[in-house]
Structure 1
């Protein structure tokens, strides 16, 4: 699974520089370059911001990753994330859907306030 290559391909297809996308995603060009080269772990929050900066939904992003993996189901789509993010995703599966929505709303509020990086 080459998350970095897919991000880079999308950026280049849009004819955008590292600086432009990094600015919109709230990171720096060096960080984005390391992500594109798969030299740096990627949190879910960072991936969300990068997808937003590249105007692609997470579902479209993961669908493209799955397609490139030969159309087979990814055995563990969370494997590309850091330990804390994997734990969070695993824990969220145990939360009832109505409570998950509440957690998402709180997370979105925090992210919009600029306190979540």
Structure 2
């Protein structure tokens, strides 16, 4: 999956139109559409602006794209299932507000502490 496809996936998950995101990002809908269809390359500034418009860190966009390019290397079912759960969790995590993301991380730390006992 390329960055444009990731942008489209997140935009659609948020039920935002091309026009809404393009306006916030300071570009036009036609440009954003070409990016999503891999017909136009993103400049670093445009990537940053679109990521901000979607309220997603640029690093998360690359992580999602990379995970989809190289699905779980493990051929066993448990590894594939874990990779699918991780991808699902990441997709949901980036949709949370910053405050809710922080709460989620705190909760995960509590789970890990409990698991070590």
Runs of 5+ consecutive residues of structure 2 not aligned to the other structure: 73-117
Match of 1:51 in 2: 51
* Secondary structure in structure 1 of the residue aligned to 2:16: coil
Which of the pair is proportionally richer in helix? 2
For the residues of structure 2 that align with 1:44 and 1:24, how far apart are their CA atoms? 16
Runs of 5+ consecutive residues of structure 1 not aligned to the other structure: 73-117
TM, length-normalised to structure 2: 0.58
Per the TM alignment, residue 32 of structure 1 is displaced from its structure 2 partner at its CA by 0.6
For the residues of structure 2 that align with 1:71 and 1:44, how far apart are their CA atoms? 26
For the residues of structure 1 that align with 2:42 and 2:18, how far apart are their CA atoms? 16
For these two proteins, the number of residue pairs brought into alignment is 72
For the residues of structure 2 that align with 1:59 and 1:25, how far apart are their CA atoms? 17
Per the TM alignment, residue 16 of structure 1 is displaced from its structure 2 partner at its CA by 0.5
Q: Give CA deviations for 1:9-29 in whole Å, capped at 9, x if unaligned.
A: 110000010110000000011
TM, length-normalised to structure 1: 0.58
Per the TM alignment, residue 63 of structure 1 is displaced from its structure 2 partner at its CA by 1.1
Runs of 4+ in 1 over 4 A off after TM superposition: none
Larger Cα-atom Rg: 2
Contact 2:2 2:65 in 1 (8 A): yes
* Secondary structure in structure 2 of the residue aligned to 1:38: coil
Per the TM alignment, residue 66 of structure 1 is displaced from its structure 2 partner at its CA by 1.4
Contact 2:3 2:62 in 1 (8 A): no
